[in-house]
Amino acid sequence: MRTKTIIDGFKNSQKFRVIMNGVMLNNITPKDLIDTRFGLTNQRVALWDAIQSLASMRRIEVIKPIGLTGTWREVNIQVDML
């Protein structure tokens, strides 16, 4: 049986490069967001919000963005698709 997509607009195996408060994390996948890879819940939720924002921008924009930077839940995040 097929696994349900965790974040609409991205495959569960899509890899991201994430810089969170100056710390770089490579090869983050949407599956990592539901696992216990993050020590703090607010960091995980902030990254979830950032990736969902990128997914919604990719659905709307004519030229699809591959990265996004901003502040979510008082956490500075930069997300880039690999």
Number of helices and strands in the chain (H, E): 2, 4
What pTM was computed for the model? 0.88
Contact 53, 41 (CB under 8 A): no
Would the pLDDT of 77 be above 70? yes
C-alpha 75: how far from chain center? 13
- pLDDT band at 78, cuts 50/70/90? very high
CA–CA separation, 14 and 7 (whole Å): 10
Give the pLDDT confidence score for residue 76 in this predicted structure: 96
- Residue-wise pLDDT tens digits, 21-70: 999 988 999 888 887 677 788 888 999 999 999 999 999 988 999 999 99
